[in-house]
Structure 1
Amino acid sequence: MNTYVTGGLAALALLASALPAAAETVEFTLINESSQALHYFYTNPSNSDEWGEDLLGEDGTLEPGMEGTVTIGDGSDQCEYDFRFETGEGAVLEVTNVDICTLDSYTLSD
């Protein structure tokens, strides 16, 4: 009987590793190939109307031609997220339904 329990647990572990990653904490590279400095970057699960905190932080700026690592660790299990970018010049870009579970990098351009 012990063999069945052990085999069942191994099968569950194997099945769980084959499922898509949940978005509880996701890291990706944000690349700024635009002509403007990025001063604010907000995200939220696509099924939410509330933007999260600025992921660049209080003193964060991503200059043109630069890149940085972004961590989304809001505890959500959603993969579809909306992004809001704001530049120092006042431009705003909102992108909807980005699959962060499969995201390695995201590039901003003009």
Structure 2
Amino acid sequence: MKTYLLGGLAALALAAASLPAMAQTVEFTIINDSSYDLHYFFTTPSNENSWGGDLLGDTGILESGYQATATIGDGSDQCLYDFKFVMDNGAELIEPAIDICSLNSYTITD
């Protein structure tokens, strides 16, 4: 009986070790405390080289002085993300290596 139990536990541990890390969906508040409207908000895991889609999507614009909920649900298991904000004056702000796993809100300022 002990042999079967130990063999079963070893098989279970091996199976768990071979599973990929769980993908996460993270929500946080974006606060636009700048003097410009935010037109685009892109993210990417810091270990990748291409931006994902615009998180503002159909909502379009996050006006100066307002806030909105952002959701990152791209299937990644990474915590460090780069953010790219494009303002209505064409200015781009890139913030590298933001820890989204512990992020409750992010404030954009001038």
TM-score per shorter chain, which class?
0.7 to 0.9
Equivalent pair of 1:29/1:70 in contact (CA under 8 Å): yes
Counterparts of 1:46 and 1:68, CA distance in 2? 23
1:30 match? 30
Residues 89-104 of structure 1 aligned to structure 2 (within 5 Å): 89-104=89-104
Residue 46 of structure 1 pairs with residue 50 of structure 2? no
**Pairwise CA RMSD of aligned residues?**
1.7
Equivalent pair of 1:23/1:100 in contact (CA under 8 Å): no
1:35 corresponds to which letter in structure 2?
S
Between the aligned residues of both structures, percent identity stands at 59
Equivalent pair of 1:31/1:106 in contact (CA under 8 Å): yes
Equivalent pair of 1:23/1:101 in contact (CA under 8 Å): no
Unaligned runs of at least 5 residues, structure 2: 10-21
Unaligned runs of at least 5 residues, structure 1: 9-21
Spell out, residue by residue over 1:15-55, the C-alpha distance to the aligned partner (whole angstroms, 9 max, x if none).
xxxxxxx6620000000000000000000000000100000
Residue 70 of structure 1 pairs with residue 77 of structure 2? no
Scaled by the length of structure 1, what TM-score is found? 0.78
Higher Cα Rg, which structure:
2
Q: Secondary structure at the match of 1:90?
A: coil
Aligned length: 92
1:61 corresponds to which letter in structure 2?
I
